[in-house]
Amino acid sequence: MLLKGKNAVVYGAGGHIGGAVARAFAREGANVFLAGRTIEKLELVAEHIRAEGGTAQFAQLDALDHEMIESHLESVVRQVGTVDISFNATWIRGDLQGTPLLEISCEHFTLPVLTGVQTHFLTSTAAARHMARQRSGVILTLSASSSVLSGRDRRFHRTGGFSTACTAIEGLTYSLAGELGPLGIRVACLRSDAIPETWSSDASEIKTYMEDGTALGRLPTLNELANAAVLAASDRASAITGTVLNVTCGSIMN
């Protein structure tokens, strides 16, 4: 087990990505602490983890609330002693994509940016303060391929503020890695392409367009993204920090 004995906090754990990563962390031996706004969704993820023999606890939490984040982490440390992994999968309003920039409101453009940057800053720095005391830890952020799309894809997708949010999260990742590295803390970002399993409606034309633009001829799965998170959080990746892991099936090459 790659994460045996590790204590992992997952924000946005009731969502598709957060839940998949939390389950993967638990399968690899981590004690998982689920955090999110919707208690019913968190409970379902916790039940699934426990049914597979894993360990999970959950707490209702707003990742934009500094005091709630700090209080929750304090309770985790009191209970298990350390925070070894922090992963933020909080939703940053991808639903606001699709409107041309000349028509989108300032509020709808900036909301993904403000949400993405604030939640990642608050959760990452709160976790880092605990990790600094123990001189170890891994912080994982979450971005998407929209941060580095080609011109063709930017015309097609009309990403609004979502791509700006992802670019900002990746920039924050680099800054955190630089400052926290001397404290024994690694920071990396997972950059995924769209994951069809998370779509709420049929979008076969969009799916075909996007698959045709990947080297593998398909889009990533939740399980593949979760496996990448496990690897990045594990000691097998002990020399990896200050980077963006490309989990796009080759829609982005760098």
The reported pLDDT for the residue numbered 93 is 86
Cα separation, 213 vs 217, in Å, equals: 7
Between 31 and 202, the more confident residue is 31
Does the residue 252 lie in any domain?
no
Q: How many domains does the chain have?
A: 1
Q: Tell me, yes or no, whether 240 lies in a domain.
A: yes
Q: What is the mean pLDDT of residues 129-137?
A: 97
Position 206 scores a pLDDT of 87
Pick the more confident residue, 202 or 127: 127
Q: In this structure, is residue 137 part of a structural domain?
A: yes
Residue range 31-56: average pLDDT? 97
Q: Supply the mean pLDDT for the chain.
A: 96
Q: Tell me whether residue 1 is in a domain.
A: no
Mean pLDDT calculated for residue range 13-34: 98
Residue 94's pLDDT is what? 83
pLDDT of residue 205: 85
Within a domain: 74:
yes
Q: What is the mean pLDDT of residues 97-107?
A: 93
Domain range holding 185?
7-247
Write the CATH number for 12: 3.40.50.720
pLDDT number for residue 216: 97
Per-residue pLDDT at 95 exceeds 90: no
**pTM for the predicted model, two decimal places:** 0.96
Q: Characterise 89 by phi-psi region: left (phi > 0), alpha (psi -120 to 50), beta (else).
A: alpha
Q: Is the pLDDT of residue 97 over 90?
A: no
Instruction: Give alpha helix (H) positions in 158-203.
Output: 162-180
Q: Is residue 2 part of a domain?
A: no
Q: Is residue 254 part of a domain?
A: no
Grade residue 82 by pLDDT with cuts at 50, 70 and 90: very high
In this structure, of 78-82, 98-102, 120-124, the range with the lowest mean pLDDT score is 98-102
Length reported for the chain: 254
Residue 87 lies in a domain: yes
Q: Let me know: does 250 contact 224? Beta carbons within 8 Å.
A: no
Name which of 191, 77, 91 is nearest 69 in CA terms.
77
Tens of pLDDT, residues 172-184: 999 999 999 999 9
Express as a percent the part of the chain with pLDDT over 70.
100
